Amino acid sequence: MGGTVAAAARGAEALFQNPAGLARLRPESPSEVALGYDALIETAYQGSAAYARPLGREGALAAGVLYDSQSPQTYYSVQGDAVGSFTPMDLAAGAAYARRIGPVALGGGLKLLRSSLADRSGTSFAADFGAMLPHATDLGDGPLDAGLTVSNLGPPLKIGSTADPLPFRARAGAVWHASPNFDAALDVVFPVDQAPYATAGAEARFPAAMVGSTRPWTAALRAGYDQNRSRGVDGFTAVSFGAGLDFAAFRVDYAWLALGSLGYANRVTLAFRF
């Protein structure tokens, strides 16, 4: 859905998007494990794993890890000679807690960050915070949920003698539940290192009852647009399309992201409830 997560984050993946979304888990909700894999441009990839469970009557807890890397890269000496290879790596591991306080959901998380490049590596930490207000108002015949999140609050990450600030960003957005089976979402993102941009997405759901089945499954089709992906990239870019199947104890989601002249990316998520 173009990364519109400020008010739409839910499930175990909310740990990486807006920790307040974990509060959608109710005391009677099952625990969830979500495993994700992104095949990015060239040989780059990202993997993720997250676990979330209800905690008490009003809260939820989650923990997880994100891992970015690519195939081995050639290492050159100052004379330009190939002298070996290395595999770059970025890792984030953390936990978050969310709680419902009246109509508002609040969440916060801490994560450890580590990055390595050739024979240099660095470590830092960061905090994420979020809030959600379900049914903030009505728009036509459907309720509108609102959300806000700030990510990557922490000291710079230093690798060797170079220290870079973390990619802090604030995000505000809303999800309009136009009907029981259709949502439209919009986020505005404020990064620390570039101009603000918008993302938009839509999801149409098709319950099993639509085709006369009594089984507890729902199919979904999604589309999105991320303005940031269109900056400095030629060709067909910034849009994404996806689909999903959600069963009682298992769900699978797939997304295809157009990256213009850079190519495209594929994203797959498998989640298990128990």
Per-residue pLDDT of the chain (274 residues; tens, 9 = 90+): 999 999 999 999 999 999 999 999 999 999 999 999 999 988 999 999 999 999 999 999 999 999 999 988 887 877 887 878 888 899 999 999 999 999 999 999 999 999 998 888 999 999 999 999 999 999 998 999 999 999 999 999 998 888 889 999 999 999 999 999 999 999 999 999 899 999 999 999 999 988 888 888 999 999 999 999 988 888 999 999 999 999 989 999 999 999 999 999 999 999 999 9
* Half-sphere exposure of residue 65: CA atoms within 13 angstroms, side-chain side: 6
**How far is residue 119's CA from residue 86's CA, in Å, rounded to a whole number?**
8
How far, in Å, CA of 108 to CA of 102, rounded? 17
Listed by start position, the domains of the chain span 14-70+86-199
| Model pLDDT for residues 109-161, shown as the tens digit of each residue | 999 999 998 888 999 999 999 999 999 999 998 999 999 999 999 999 998 88
C-alpha to C-alpha distance for 92 and 244, rounded to whole angstroms:
26
Cite the DSSP H helix spans in 74-169: none
pTM of the model: 0.90
